[in-house]
């Protein structure tokens, strides 16, 4: 049949994880931890799995007790008024479903969506499946910060949505309060909406604070803000995330969500509601990942890779020009096959596979895994 996405292959994350498995390589490619969620969470899940009546459809927007816990946590973490659980919070099957539901809810054929590139691989194809037109604005390399004049130039009367991602995948760059203030000013006289993908919100380092679109009233009123329990609780396989947006925007997301997945795993929602009241997990996450970033950085000092600064996320970019002049995909594949460490080529985050000679490591791994991987990488 004629494909709706003829130019799109299998996601690079599946491709590199499969290659890693075939080669028995250490997988620093696809972003997921090689450790389990906190015991309080897995025990809560077991408890709810044994509880009669916790196995049928959850309410379409999410369990009320989970939405209430999300509301309280959001207010505490971001220093904002608590979002209304009934009208402003929707629990989704990971941030992935939230991304898709938002795009399906607001993008009409011919609408333009501004995407800062490099971007998470789902954004472009999901926009195009709605008949939307991605308008790509390059981030500055190698800082991966936005040039707001370029963003301004990309806006048109047809710009329906602008997509943000902070902390940023793949670069780890974070937007500042000044960035968000500038963006709010740029959008002031427009009807452009904002999708702010903040799944790595609790991975910001060196004493810096995450700047959320929720903290800027002029942005918050036009924003869908997404997060993911997969990242915060080392549970990417649970696929539970959420979307926070003002009531009229939430109403539109739910119109789609009800026909996309309808509702999210009931026992998983109960378990997350149990643990979310305890701030321990997300308040200790910055130090937990900063330690891993710094450990990996130190271990790689004896290598010929050149690591870029990583202010946030669980990703580390590296240049390899002292080692090879191969393209980044070829280099990533060879690293996996010959040196037993799988990584992601950054060109996979560009719609035209732009190659800056950069690869992405995921450092959400046990210290022993990072140590073993770095030993191999120092041989290059
Ligand atoms: N957005 C970004 C930037 C991501 O890196 C991810 C991780 N896969 C997602 C969204 C999807 O999140 P989830 O796993 O909760 O669907
Ligand atoms: N977000 C993860 C990453 O960037 C991958 C998620 C996926 O495999 N779809 O590696």
Tens digits of residue pLDDT in 227-279: 999 999 999 999 999 999 999 999 999 999 999 999 999 999 999 999 999 99
Q: In the prediction, which pLDDT does 245 show?
A: 99
Look at domain 42-279 and name its CATH class: alpha beta
ipTM topping 0.85? yes
User: Is ligand 2 within 6 A of the CB of residue 169?
Assistant: yes
> From CA 346, how far away is CA 301, in angstroms rounded?
21
Candidate of 70, 90, 228 to mutate for ligand 1, largest count of ligand atoms within 8 Å of Cβ = 228
- Could you tell me the distance, in angstroms and rounded to a whole number, from the CA of residue 91 to the centre of ligand 1? 14
Question: Could you tell me where in the chain the CATH 3.40.640.10 domains are found?
Answer: 42-279
* Total count of residues recorded for the chain: 380
Q: In the prediction, which pLDDT does 89 show?
A: 99
Backbone φ and ψ of 367, nearest 5°: -55, -40
Candidate of 8, 11, 12, 32 to mutate for ligand 2, largest count of ligand atoms within 8 Å of Cβ = 32
- Could you tell me the distance, in angstroms and rounded to a whole number, from the CA of residue 252 to the centre of ligand 2? 26
What dihedral do alpha carbons 338, 342, 344, 347 form, nearest 10°?
Answer: 10
Total-model pTM: 0.98
Candidate of 20, 31, 228 to mutate for ligand 2, largest count of ligand atoms within 8 Å of Cβ = 31
The helices-and-strands tally (H runs, E runs) of the chain is 14, 13
Question: Could you tell me where in the chain the CATH 3.90.1150.10 domains are found?
Answer: 12-37+281-377
Looking at ligand 2, which atom is closest to the CA of residue 236?
6
| β-bridge pairing 133-138 and 112-117 | parallel
Q: In the prediction, which pLDDT does 332 show?
A: 98
Q: In the prediction, which pLDDT does 44 show?
A: 98
Q: Which bound ligand lies closest to the C-alpha atom of 12?
A: 2
Q: In the prediction, which pLDDT does 236 show?
A: 98
Residue ranges in the chain modelled with pLDDT below 50: none
User: Is ligand 2 within 6 A of the CB of residue 167?
Assistant: no
Three-state secondary-structure class, residue 184: helix
Give ligand 1 pocket residues (Cβ under 6 A).
31, 94-96, 120, 165, 169, 197, 199, 228, 230, 236, 239, 241
**Cβ neighbourhood burial of 6 (10 Å; 0-12, 13-18, 19+):** exposed
Looking at ligand 1, which atom is closest to the CA of residue 169?
3
What is the DSSP code string of 329-369? HHHHHHHHHHHSEE-EEGGGGSTT----SEEEEE--S-HHH
- The CATH number assigned to the domain with range 12-37+281-377 reads 3.90.1150.10
Looking at ligand 2, which atom is closest to the CA of residue 199?
1
- Could you tell me the distance, in angstroms and rounded to a whole number, from the CA of residue 117 to the centre of ligand 2? 16
Q: In the prediction, which pLDDT does 372 show?
A: 98
Beta-carbon contacts of 293 under 8 Å, excluding residues fewer than 6 positions away, are 205, 310, 314, 316, 363
Nearest CA to ligand 2 atom 7: 13
Which ranges in 10-119 belong to alpha helices (H)? 12-23, 39-49, 64-78, 94-106
Candidate of 30, 93, 315, 332 to mutate for ligand 2, largest count of ligand atoms within 8 Å of Cβ = 30
């Amino acid at each position: 049949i004629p494909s709706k996405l003829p130019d799109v292959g299998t996601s690079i994350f599946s491709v590199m994880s499969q290659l890693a498995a075939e080669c028995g390589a250490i997988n620093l490619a696809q972003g997921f931890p090689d450790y389990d969620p906190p015991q309080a969470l897995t025990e809560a899940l077991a408890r709810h799995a044994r509880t009669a009546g916790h196995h049928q459809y959850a309410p379409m927007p999410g369990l009320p007790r989970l939405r209430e816990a999300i509301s309280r946590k959001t207010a505490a973490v971001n220093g904002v008024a608590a979002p209304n659980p009934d009208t402003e919070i929707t629990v989704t099957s990971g941030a992935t479903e939230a991304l898709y539901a938002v795009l399906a809810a607001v993008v009409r054929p011919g609408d333009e969506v501004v995407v800062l590139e490099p971007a998470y691989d789902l954004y472009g194809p999901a926009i195009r499946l709605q008949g939307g037109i991605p308008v790509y604005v390059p981030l500055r390399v190698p800082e991966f910060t936005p040039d707001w004049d370029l963003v301004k130039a990309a806006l048109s009367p047809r710009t329906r949505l602008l997509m943000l991602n902070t902390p940023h995948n793949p670069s780890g760059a974070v937007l500042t309060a000044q960035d968000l203030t500038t963006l709010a000013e740029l959008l002031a006289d427009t009807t452009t909406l904002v999708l702010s993908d903040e799944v790595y919100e609790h991975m910001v380092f060196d004493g810096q604070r995450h700047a959320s679109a929720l903290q800027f009233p002029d942005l918050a009123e036009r924003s869908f803000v997404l997060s993911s329990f997969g990242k915060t609780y080392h549970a990417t396989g649970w696929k539970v995330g959420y979307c926070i947006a003002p009531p009229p925007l939430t109403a539109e997301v739910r119109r789609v969500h009800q026909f996309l997945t309808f509702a999210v795993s009931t026992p998983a929602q109960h378990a997350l509601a149990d643990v979310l009241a305890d701030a321990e997990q997300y308040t200790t996450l910055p130090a937990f990942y900063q330690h891993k970033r710094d450990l990996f950085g130190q271990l790689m000092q004896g290598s010929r890779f050149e690591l870029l600064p990583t202010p946030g996320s669980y990703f580390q970019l590296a240049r390899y020009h002292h080692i090879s002049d191969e393209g980044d995909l070829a280099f990533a594949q060879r690293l996996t096959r010959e040196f037993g460490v799988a990584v992601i080529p950054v060109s996979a985050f560009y719609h035209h596979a732009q190659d800056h000679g950069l690869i992405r490591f995921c450092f959400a791994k046990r210290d022993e895994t990072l140590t073993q991987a770095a030993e191999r990488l120092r041989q290059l």
